[in-house]
Chains A and B, each alone.
Chain A
Amino acid sequence: MSASTLTHPGEETGTCGCHAEPVPTSRISRRSVLKGAGALATVAVAVPGFGTAAFASNNLSRRGDIIVNVFLRGGMDGLSIVAPLHEGAGANFLAAARPTLAVDPATLLPLSADFGLHPAMASLMPAWNADRLALIPAGGFVQSNRSHFTVQKHIDLGVDLGAPATMGWLGRHLEVTASPPPDGLRAATLPRAQGSLDGSTIAVSLNRVDNFQVSGFRGDGSAIQAALADLHGVDTDAVVDQRAHEALVALDLVNNANITPPANGAAYPASGRGRNFGNVLAQIAGLIRADIGLEAVATEANFGWDLHSNFGNSVDGRQASNLAALADTLGAFMVDLGENADRVTVVLMTEFGRTFRENGNAGVDHGRASTMMVLGGGINGGVYGEWPGLAPEQIDRNALRVTVDYRSVLADILQYRLVTGDLAAVLPGYVDTPEKRLNLALPLSPVA
């Protein structure tokens, strides 16, 4: 069987007929400009009207997108998310490898001629149909390792195995990217700290936006706050002192923010796995609407992805209900954001996918590639990356091969949507080449 190639819709070699409606003209012309001018080469190549330097000097008051980084801890299986529709794309191999777990291809929601989406993720179809959802089915960590903790850590830090780092990749992005004044709350983690912002003194760790307060004392609030400030040294490198002052500064920003409930009739799940995550996304949407300077949020959706057993089938099983919860919450988030979705990019990744063949306990063990997802108004929807194939010679030690370095997805987002100050500093060790780039993100429109 020939390996299907997943490429961006519209490119010459593409096989997909993804879109029911024509791709907007403005986007087509933008891609042509980019291709013609060789702007896809490296960050350093300056294209008139694009590129970091030109943008910054023309747009002092304009920020990039707000990035929402959602890490899915536990090794989320990707083969059940974007799966082959027919034998030519490997559906027979998948069915043989996963006799009890494989999704029936007839139930997949078609994304292209060859691939479809897990039916439990129907809530993502509006974003797909609006050309705002990019799926990368064979994305992941390039170096071979199947330890949750090792790979999670290195992905969050954005470094190769064994390379030292004390700050997450998103934290580094904030460090190297100037924020136009006034400085608000540039970054947050919800409902607790998240690795991609570890080590950052810019990011504030929140549990909920409505309990970020000094409490427990009896006396006057501002006198207590003043005393707490005085008890903690300034200009020290002691984490206790640093966080104390960061908390006190952030308090006012968060508590004075006008955080409104879900908009546009967005309906987050009221129960099940999606309830808590939906609540987090609703708060993030509220923070975005409150316009307090947010540039980056990092969170997690750990629904129990590490399904060594009880994976279930596509109709009723753990994986199916996890995927439904994820899709429903993301779908509601996009509705909640409304027009704000034009300036938000949501990226989802997991440390690795799961084994191609099911084990003897109705589950799957640690694998390699999984499906990455990117959503947002500035995203060129489509299924991206080289499909590694599911024939025996194409499967690597019972796992789907990684053909897309997760960092090349981040590079697109960092360069085109976040206008990062220094891509090489954010992703040290990642060698950026045109061949690696998927170009799934549209460059921000410069203001005239």
Chain B
Amino acid sequence: MHREALVSRIAFAPTPGEVALVASMGPLAYLEQQLSIPPAGTTDVVAGGTLAMTIAERYQVYRGMGSDRSAREMRLAAVRRAVQHPGQLAEMMVEFWSNHFSTYSGNDDKNVRYAVATDDIGVIRAHAMGKFADLVLNNARSVSMLLYLDNYRSTGGTPNQNYARELMELHVLGEANGYDEDDVEFVSRIFTGWGLTGRLDTDGLAYQYQPTRHFTGPVDVTITQPDGSTATFSTPGRTDAAGEQDGIDFINWLVRLPNAAQFIATKLVRRFVSDTPPPSLVASTAAVYLANDTLIVPVLRHILTSEEFITSRGAKIRTPFELLVALLRASGATIDPTWDGPASNTITDRLNGLGQSMWQWATPDGFPDSGPFWITTQTTLRRWELAGRAGNANLNGLGIDVQALLPNPLPPTIEEVFLAIGARFGVTLGENDLAALGEFVSIAPDTPTADVDLNRFLGDFVGLILSTPAFQYR
């Protein structure tokens, strides 16, 4: 497996150190190392801010501030972690699961914004490289999800369908994958009583199972499996504290259905391999998921050592987050850690303009994993703008030393300079690219470096290289 290719695809970008590491360890050992490193925590991530606070403490900080304050802070944290944390694959999985269990923080967000950072640590980061079953169960009990999809107020008398529907449609099975409208109603009964206790302005909110609000009557949920047979979950509707087990058992049953295996396998293969997931790889991945009782690491190992993954470089377009992180990591950029400082503002402005307002996607389905979604005429212009600004070190709070990208000593011809910069960002520039770069300053690519005013043009050269199609792909 080509080293730079692997590093661009299970790490956000090839830093010189990363490439050397892969060379010395070999790709398989590098992969195993990546599979073993957990996601980053909160240490040295953001200076000031609320990441490590309780919900109650965070409420006291955010109340009276703009409603996008928490999303801004989360974005800064996500970018800093993804750029700096050695566990690159783990940070990719955090991003994947955050989007899979997407919530919205912002205007009229039902207070979700006060809980998102707590659940990022306690649910997503805690289980991103663990078991999918644990991820779903902990997410079901998370304050942010209970608020976002209204389940905390669902009662046996009037169950609220919102969470039950999205649990099946978006989190575990996929749309119309074996369940029908009746099942949505039945599942909503199972999760009645999964509520919240406390007050935001005193001790904060926390999950609490409330037996008196639980639906106590028989519930049967029948899912049609891919092979046409049915699987049924039944509960008599347990009373008292035992009623919580209805939901726990249901989740543990649901995530182990072949429908779930197929859905999660498809999403992960899509994430790493191609927008048209190869059916054979999806099928074998689903089998690994079931054989390993929903453990995520074996599933990733299977995908990332597959023939389809190895031979599919350049199939996936970088999302705005991936683009920004790759640019910053590959250039060795510094990121101001101040929680509400210039880097935070720049990151939010750039991500918004590129179409990825993380933690502010309005609906629970999260951002679509599709190249054409990210590349519109508008976002193309914004990608070029990011590239131009990066090259000219004009991103407030993000310190890019463009001179340090140049090889030392400078190579004799300008095209070797171009090639070196491209290589730094994992891009192999072709004849056409080199000609276009030279044409920009009306010179031939084999012009001696000494004859080119690098002080004047280096920034735009870097910007143009970051604008090449090749850099838009992982």
| Those of B138-162 within 8 Å (CB) of chain A | 150, 153-155, 157-158, 160-162
Instruction: Assess the A147–B436 pair: CB atoms within 8 A.
Output: no
Q: Indicate if the CB atoms of A244 and B380 lie closer than 8 Å.
A: yes
With an 8 A cutoff between CB atoms, is A58 at the interface? no
Closest beta carbon of chain A to B185's beta carbon, Å: 10
In B370-384, which residues have CB < 8 Å from any A CB?
Answer: 371-373, 375-382, 384
Closest to B457 in A: A219
Interface residues of A in 336-376 (CB under 8 A from B): 359-361, 365-366
Q: Does A33 contact B (CB under 8 A)?
A: no
- The segment from A123-131, A205-213, A290-298 found at the interface with B is A205-213
Q: Which residue on chain A has the smallest CB distance to residue B430?
A: A231
Give the contact-size bracket for chain A.
35 or more
Interface SS of chain B: helix
User: Do residues A240 and B472 form an inter-chain contact, with CB atoms below 8 A?
Assistant: yes
From 225 to 258 in chain A, residues with beta carbon under 8 angstroms from any chain B beta carbon are 226-228, 230-233, 238-241, 243-244, 246-247, 250-251
How distant is A216 from chain B, measured CB to nearest CB, in Å? Answer: 3
B93 at the A interface (CB under 8 A): no
CA distance A189 to B468 in the complex (A): 25
Taking the complex as formed, is B175 at the interface, i.e. its CB lies under 8 A from any CB of chain A? yes
Q: List B contacts of A223 (CB < 8 A).
A: 440-441
CA distance A404 to B154 in the complex (A): 33
Task: Work out how many contacts link A and B, with CB atoms closer than 8 A.
Answer: 161
When distances are taken between beta carbons in the complex, the residues of chain A under 8 Å from B464 are 217, 224, 227-228, 231
Q: Tell whether A397 is near chain B: CB-to-CB under 8 Å.
A: yes
Q: Tell me if A218 and B392 are in contact (CB < 8 A).
A: yes
The secondary structure that dominates the A interface is loop
Interface string of B382-414 (1 = CB under 8 A from A): 101111110110100000000000000000000
Q: How far is the CA of A306 from the CA of B376 in the complex (A)?
A: 27
Q: Count the B residues whose beta carbon is within 8 Å of the partner chain — how many? A: 61
Is A436 located at the chain interface by the 8 A CB criterion?
no
- CA A241 – CA B377 in complex, angstroms? 10
Q: Which of B450-468 contact A (CB under 8 A)?
A: 457, 459-460, 463-464, 467-468
The answer to whether B387 and A360 touch across the interface, beta carbons within 8 angstroms, is: no
- Is A193 among interface residues, defined by CB-CB distance under 8 A? yes
344-360 of chain B: CB within 8 A of chain A: 353, 355
B380 touching A302 by the CB < 8 A rule? no
In the assembled complex, which residues on chain A have CB atoms less than 8 Å from the CB atom of B108?
A: 304, 318
Chain A residues near B375 (CB-CB < 8 A): 239-240, 243
Is A150 within 8 A of B176, CB to CB? yes
Note all chain B residues with C-beta closer than 8 A to A144: 181
Residues of A within 8 A of B468 (CB): 231
Residue of B nearest to A216 (CB): B388
Answer whether residue A19 sits at the interface, using C-beta atoms and an 8 A cutoff.
no
User: Pick the contact of B176 from A147, A205, A215, A233 — CB < 8 Å?
Assistant: A147
The answer to whether B467 and A231 touch across the interface, beta carbons within 8 angstroms, is: yes
With A216-B387, A216-B388 as known contacts, state yes or no: A365 contacts B377, CB within 8 Å.
no
Q: Assuming A230-B435, A243-B375, A308-B160, is B386 touching A216 (CB within 8 A)? A: yes
Task: Check A214–B381 contact: CB distance below 8 A.
Answer: yes
* Contact in complex: A219, B377 (CB < 8 Å): no
Question: From B371, which residue of chain A is reached at the shortest CB distance?
Answer: A239
B440 touches A212 (CB 8 A): no
A192 at the B interface (CB under 8 A): yes
User: A146–B371 Cα gap in the complex (Å)?
Assistant: 27
| Chain B residues whose C-beta falls within 8 Å of the C-beta of A145 in the assembled complex | 176
Give CA–CA (A318, B107) in the complex, Å. 13
Residues of A near B175 (CB, < 8 A) are 147, 149-150
Taking a contact as CB atoms under 8 Å apart, the answer to whether A205 and B459 are in contact is: no
- A204 contacts the other chain (CB 8 A): yes
**In contact, A205 and B365 (Cβ under 8 angstroms):** no
CB of A31 closer than 8 Å to a CB of B: no
Residue A309 lies at the interface, judged by CB distance under 8 Å to chain B: yes
Q: Contact: B378 with A215, CB < 8 Å?
A: no
The distance from the CB of A71 to the nearest CB of chain B, in whole angstroms, is 13
Closest to A223 in B: B440
Judge if B317 is at the interface, Cβ distance under 8 Å.
yes
Query: Contacts A192-B355, A205-B379, A243-B380 given: A365-B161 contact, CB under 8 Å?
Result: yes
Cβ-defined contact, B161 with A366, below 8 A: yes
Say yes or no: B181 contacts A397, CB within 8 Å.
yes
A-B contact pairs, 12 of them (CB 8 A): A74-B363, A146-B184, A147-B165, A214-B381, A214-B384, A216-B385, A227-B436, A227-B464, A231-B469, A244-B380, A306-B363, A366-B161
Binding site for B on A (CB under 8 A): 73-74, 144-150, 189, 192-193, 198-199, 204-207, 212-219, 223-224, 226-228, 230-233, 238-241, 243-244, 246-247, 250-251, 302, 304, 306, 308-309, 318, 359-361, 365-366, 397
The 8 A-B residue pairs with the shortest CB-CB distance, nearest first, are A360-B158, A216-B388, A205-B376, A230-B436, A217-B388, A216-B385, A247-B377, A216-B389
Other 15 A-B pairs with CB < 8 A, given A217-B460, A247-B378, A361-B160? A145-B176, A149-B169, A150-B175, A205-B376, A207-B378, A215-B385, A215-B388, A226-B439, A231-B432, A240-B317, A241-B469, A243-B375, A302-B362, A308-B160, A308-B162
